[in-house]
Structures are given as structure tokens and as C-alpha cells.
Structure 1
Amino acid sequence: MKLNVAWCITGAGDKIIETYEVMKDIKDTYNGKAVIKVFISKAGDQVVKYYGIYQDLEANFDQKWVEISANSPFLAGQVQLGKYDFLLIAPCTSNSVAKISLRIADTLITNAAIMAQKAGVPVYIMPTDFEEGTTETRLPNGKILTLEIRREDVEHVKRLSRMKNTHVFKDPEYIYKIFERLTRE
């Protein structure tokens, strides 16, 4: 079975390099069994350039698009038509998590996620603000930034985890399990 995957990148820098490395490894490992198309939000476009992986995404994945509007490229329509086996949003900002949990479909990725949920297409989301407390993230210059994750952001993550066909996970390594399971089915 060949998987068609829409990998969506929001404006989150946390774990973006680790996620890219996992996705590149998956693409190489599942060569011929998985087609991964990359969709980048406007904010995500800034982040992948800031972290220096913009050209790497272009060179290593089947196709890459950057958001023009909530409907361009028309990812939500492609999701509705069943062109993707699942939507992967990794990493996902607290802003996008909140919008999806509150049903605000005003960006390419939030629109596609909400449409996928409505159309019964599985959505896998790796929120940056997974649990309350402090976390450390690596900046593009290698320095560590400590952030405090707030209860309000975590409440949106919990809402997502209760939504039908929506799977929330913490680390990029979990993406391997998604592909292992779905390529066996």
C-alpha cells in the first residue's frame, strides 16, 4: 500500500530540525511506499528559512508549497477528495492548536485540519506546548531557550486529543510509529 501524506509545517521552531530529520529518514526508508508532500504556512515559511532547512525541504521531498491563503494551495479540497491518507502537522504552534480546537479555519493548515476531521481523514498533530511547565528549545544559533508552557495552551491540546480521528503526540520519534502502523494496514 502506498501512503499519500500531507506534512504541514506551522511557524513553530521547536523540534523543527528533529522533525525534518525524521521525515527525511522516513521518506528514504519508505521510498516507493510513501509520497510525502510538504505544505508550509506563511509563518512556517519564515521558520524553515530561519532554521536553514528551506532548500533541504525542496531538495528532499516530492513537492513543497507555501501558503498563499487559507485556500491556496487548495489543500482542504484535496483532503476532501481523499487524496491523502493522513494529515501530519508537525511541529504545530499553540496558535494553530488553539484555532483547530476552536474550529477557526483561517489559515492553510487550520483549514485543512478541520476539513480532514470533517471528512474522516486522520490528523496527527505534534503540538509544541504539549504539557504544562517549562521546556527547552534550541534556537537556530544553537543556544537554548527556556519557555513556560501555560495551562491555557495545554487545554487546547487536551481538546484536540478528544476529537475524532485526531491524534496528538509529543515527540518527532512517534512519527515512525505512525508510518509503521499505516504501511502494515
Structure 2
Amino acid sequence: MVNESIAWEITGAEDKIEAGKEIMKEIKRNYPIEFDVFASKAGVQVLKMYELLEEVEDSFGELSVEVNANVPFLAGLLHKERYGGRIIAPAASNTVAKIANCIGDILLTNSALQALKAYRPVYVMPVGLEAGESTTTLPDGTKIKIRVRKEDAAQAAKLREIDGITVLEGPEGIEDEDEILELVGGRWRSHPSIWR
């Protein structure tokens, strides 16, 4: 088993935030993986709204919160090989579209694009993969139906075509043991440039 540091990045996506948090806690509990957590400003708002901020900080330590596209200097840490990889989970449709179209104007999209330049793998769990209806849970437990627009699904499909990005199908995309082992140990060592 490898011992790597992972940058877990939280966007303003509400859908699957609870499940995403549980998967990260499971990985940390079962594998020798260190996490540093980065959040967009909207990500912090969502964590507060769902009353998850304290739990995330208790489990992973203090969050590094976006000030601008380069602060904290996540891109530099990726270039200096501080992180073996990064997981954006869950990824809001806005974040997915920006990465898919190479727009690095916020911390999480800028660092994703910089990670790809440095041959660092990027794992993204979009909230809208397929056009149609989805059910999400509000902070009070109420379930509502939301529409995943075809335009958002098209951006997620475009993301799949980018070399160095692995699109996770959802929390279940990394739930079983083999997939977790591949995520934390296998794929990240498969690119020879990463481990020169």
C-alpha cells in the first residue's frame, strides 16, 4: 500500500455532499492516506448549510478556503509533488464546465488545470452526469427532484475526454475495495511522468 497525500476539494455542489464526505472518511479510515481539504467559498457555504463543516474539520483538519484562483497556492503544491492526486467531490456543474473548457478563474478549476499540466491525476465526481431527473436531499431531510440539463451532462461527457481526468460515477464509483485500492494506489502510479 502506498502512503500518499490527497487534495480533496469541495465545491458548492449540494447533491451528494454527505455521501462524498462519507467516502473520504472511509478511505482515510482504511488506508494510509493523508488528506488536505480545500474548499471554494461556495463549498464552505454548503458545508455550513448541511451542518457538515465541523465534522469535516474534526475528521480532516482545518479547511483551506479559496481566497482567489491562486490562494491558497494549491497549483504550486501540486507542481512540488505535495499531492499524489486530487479528488473534486462532489463537483458542481459550474466547476465541471469550467474544467471541461479550460477556464481556471477560481481555485479549484485553476488547480485542476495546473495538475494536468504537471501530470497529476484529477478525479472528479460531477453531480450531473446524465440528462434527466435526479433526487436530492435538502439540509432538513426533504427530498426534491431536480433536473440535470442536457447542457450540464454534455460538459460532464466532455470532461471524460480530457487526458488525466477520471470521472467518478458518484459515491458508488469508489465504494468497493478494489476501486478504492485502484484510486489510492494503482492509477496514480501508472503514469511514468508522475514518479520520475
TM-score range, shorter chain: over 0.9
- Per-residue deviation, 1:28: 1.2
The answer for the alignment partner of 2:29 in structure 1 is: 28
* 2:15 aligned counterpart, secondary structure: coil
Q: Distance in 2 between matches of 1:17 and 1:39?
A: 16
Instruction: Tell me whether 1:183 sits opposite 2:182 in the alignment.
Output: no
- 1:66 deviates by 0.9
2:136 is the counterpart of 1:134: no
Once residues 164 and 62 of structure 2 are traced to their aligned partners in structure 1, the CA distance between those partners, rounded to angstroms, is 25
* Structure 1 segment 82-101 matched on structure 2, within 5 A: 82-101=81-100
Give yes or no for contact 2:127–2:170 (8 Å, CA) kept in 1.
no
Structure 2 counterpart of 1:15, which letter? Answer: K
- Does residue 8 of structure 1 match 2:25? no
The Cα shift of 1:178 comes to: 4.7
Q: 1:151 offset after TM fit, Å? A: 1.1
* CA drift at 1:179: 3.3
Matches within 5 A, 1:1-185: 1-30=2-31, 33-176=32-175, 177-181=178-182, 182-183=184-185
Once the two structures are TM-superposed, the CA of residue 125 in structure 1 deviates from its matched residue by: 0.3
Matched-pair contact (CA < 8 Å) for 1:6–1:87: yes
Judge which range, 119-128 or 57-66, deviates more.
57-66
How many angstroms does 1:83 deviate by? 1.2
Structure 1 range deviating more: 5-14 or 149-158: 149-158
Q: Is the 8 A contact 1:36 1:63 kept in 2?
A: no
Structure 1 length-normalised TM? 0.94
CA distance in 2, matches of 1:164, 1:75: 20
Letter in 2 for 1:2: N
Per-residue deviation, residues 20-65 of structure 1 (Å, max 9, x unmatched):
11111211111xx200110000100100000111011111114421
Any gaps of 5 or more consecutive residues in structure 1?
none
Query: Does the C-alpha gap of structure 1 residues 178 and 81 become closer, same or farther in structure 2, counting only changes over 3 Å?
Result: farther
* AA matched with 2:7: A
> Does the residue aligned with 1:115 lie in a helix, a strand or coil?
helix
How many angstroms apart in 1 are the aligned matches of 2:179 and 2:163?
17
Contact residue 113 and residue 123 of structure 1 kept, 8 A? yes
Give distance in 1, aligned partners of 2:103 and 2:55.
31
Percent identity for Structure 1 against Structure 2: 40
Deviation at 1:145, TM superposition (A): 1.5
Q: Does the residue aligned with 1:14 lie in a helix, a strand or coil?
A: coil
Q: Structure 2 counterpart of 1:72, which letter?
A: V
- Report the Cα distance in structure 2 between the residues aligned to 1:135 and 1:146, rounded to whole angstroms: 6
Moved over 6 A (4+): none
2:194 corresponds to: none
Aligned residue pairs: how many?
183
Gaps of at least 5 residues in structure 2 are 190-196
Report the secondary structure of 1:137's partner residue.
strand
Q: 1:131-173 CA deviation, whole Å, 9 max, x = no partner?
A: 1110000010001121111111111111110100101122113
- Tell me how far apart the structure 2 counterparts of residues 178 and 90 of structure 1 sit (CA, whole Å): 16
Question: In structure 2, what is the Cα distance between the partners aligned to 1:172 and 1:62?
Answer: 22
